[in-house]
Structure 1
Amino acid sequence: MLLTTAVMLAGCSGGDFGRTREDFRNDDMHRWLGAEATGSVGLRASQFQLTDYERQLRDQAYPVIEPPHSRPAWKAVFGDYQAIASPWRHKVVFDRTAYGRALIDEPHRSDASRYSQLIDDVRDDITRFEPFYATAARVLELDRKRNASMAHVSQLSPRERADAVARMDENTLIVQWVQQCQERRISSYRWALERLVVQGPDNIAAEADRLINELAALAANPPVTTQPVNGVAISTRG
């Protein structure tokens, strides 16, 4: 039963809070993100190999796309890595209460430890923000150059053009996917903090609130912009 429970994982919209086990890692372990993003909106995936920056973009995207974590330490010993449905495919309404309910319901030594877990999760998201967008900026800039260069490539085959376009679509949708999940995580963190304050008031709540506001300010002004792909634009609504 424990193994079965540990391997369950949902998307950024909620569900079981899974974490990646290191022995599942390989260079292209997150390649599926691009195929899932494009496939969910009716587009094909690129057959091109990933560039170093594209691989890094997917590796940095996964911890944000994965649901925020709140669970006893014993669950972390089980392998529970699974692919996650993109927000454009996933039809379940976003449940902003899932993270907070897990945080409150699971055993903790004290109310302070619940606040500490929340603070750690928000701080982790803040720490991930700049590296992800630095990589995203590089990838999207190289995609602009790729798009411009196709007009000058001799004997570019239809298949090569299609794969190039598909890869650019993948990269753009992954950035939009992360932006959606960032907004949803912030909403989940706010709900959790509000309930913690009601159930176990503590002065440490002010630090949690400060960090959530800091993360929200970052997410509200992302350093890169993307264009809609196949009619898909960023939406934070569940």
Structure 2
Amino acid sequence: MLGAGCVARPTGDFGRAQPSFTHDTAMPFVGNLAARGRGEPVSQFNQTDIEVEMHDRVWRFLIAEHTSDWFHNTAVELQRTRLTPALDQNFSEKAYYEWLQRTRFKSAPVRYSAVGADILADTDTVPDTFAAICKVIEVDRQRLVTKNALSDLEPEVRAGVDARRAENQSFIAWFVRALNYRYVSYNYALDHLLVETPDERSMDVDAKLATMGQYVDRANRGDFCSQMAGGRAGSGFVIPSRYQTMHIDNEVIDLK
């Protein structure tokens, strides 16, 4: 049986997935058999280039390579290759904060900077991920139109169209859950850092979370295709800041 270190997908430069026969061929083959056994749809269609791109872009939201598995990378790989049903719904929002606590940062304010950098990395990557998802939704629509227009398609091909659409919808739903998980984990961490090590850098982190929250709102509504306004989510929905309900003490404290 493979150990946890063997199950997690190998990564190369910049956290990108490395090609691997075990993870790209063997595990998915066995996983598809397992998925069929669970009664889940399995398509034999080749992936389009945009479907490959969507999977590649979403993958970074499913793992956290730099933070000691707070995103449970082994469970993610078992789920991605369909060797198990969905496991991500059992992830704890405390895991990211617990990683921050046990990691030796140079100083307490650096923890806030780390959270802010993680949020910014997610926010900067979301638009291209949304765009890839939008294109996959359109590919599925085109397949359905073609299937309905052609009367002589074999039953297994028709079934393949429906199975691939179900697979794509399931993967997109996983991305939405992953984005929500990151968002609630960052919020949990910020709330607890405010209690543990108060610092003015928390306000910058809170502002970054507000921007991320707009993307989370769009994802939860399935709005992957609307245009962005000024580089930010244009949903008109604003996540209230925690500082709108907190009393700000303006007393100057000498920190010498």
State the TM-score bracket (shorter-chain normalisation).
0.7 to 0.9
2:152 corresponds in structure 1 to 155
State the TM-score, normalizing by the size of structure 1.
Answer: 0.73
Q: Distance in 2 between matches of 1:96 and 1:217?
A: 19
SS in 2 for 1:25: coil
Unpaired runs of at least 5, structure 1: 10-17, 73-78, 226-238
Q: Distance in 1 between matches of 2:126 and 2:78?
A: 20
Query: Residues 86-101 of structure 1: matches in 2 within 5 Å?
Result: 89-90=86-87, 93-101=90-98
Decide whether aligned partners of structure 1 residues 103 and 215 sit closer, same or farther in structure 2, where only a CA change above 3 A counts.
same
Query: Residues 70-219 of structure 1: matches in 2 within 5 Å?
Result: 70-71=67-68, 83-85=77-79, 89-90=86-87, 93-219=90-216
Q: Distance in 1 between matches of 2:85 and 2:187?
A: 24
Bigger RCO of structures 1 and 2 (CA < 8 A, at least 6 apart):
1
Aligned residue identity for 1:180: R
SS in 2 for 1:83: helix
Given that 2:76 and 2:88 are in contact with CA atoms closer than 8 Å, whether structure 1 keeps it comes out as no
| RMSD of aligned alpha carbons | 3.5
Decide whether aligned partners of structure 1 residues 27 and 157 sit closer, same or farther in structure 2, where only a CA change above 3 A counts.
farther
Q: Distance in 1 between matches of 2:175 and 2:17?
A: 22
SS in 2 for 1:164: helix
Q: Give 1:115 deviation, angstroms.
A: 1.2
Task: Report the count of equivalent residues.
Answer: 205
1:75-129 CA-to-partner distances (Å, cap 9, x unmatched) read xxxx989714279632873311011011111111111221111111111110121
Given that 2:41 and 2:163 are in contact with CA atoms closer than 8 Å, whether structure 1 keeps it comes out as yes
Q: Which runs of 4+ in 1 moved over 4 A?
A: 4-9, 27-32, 79-82
Q: Give 1:159 deviation, angstroms.
A: 1.6
Unpaired runs of at least 5, structure 2: 226-256
Given that 2:105 and 2:111 are in contact with CA atoms closer than 8 Å, whether structure 1 keeps it comes out as yes
State the TM-score, normalizing by the size of structure 2.
Answer: 0.68
Q: Give 1:26 deviation, angstroms.
A: 3.3
Aligned residue identity for 2:94: T
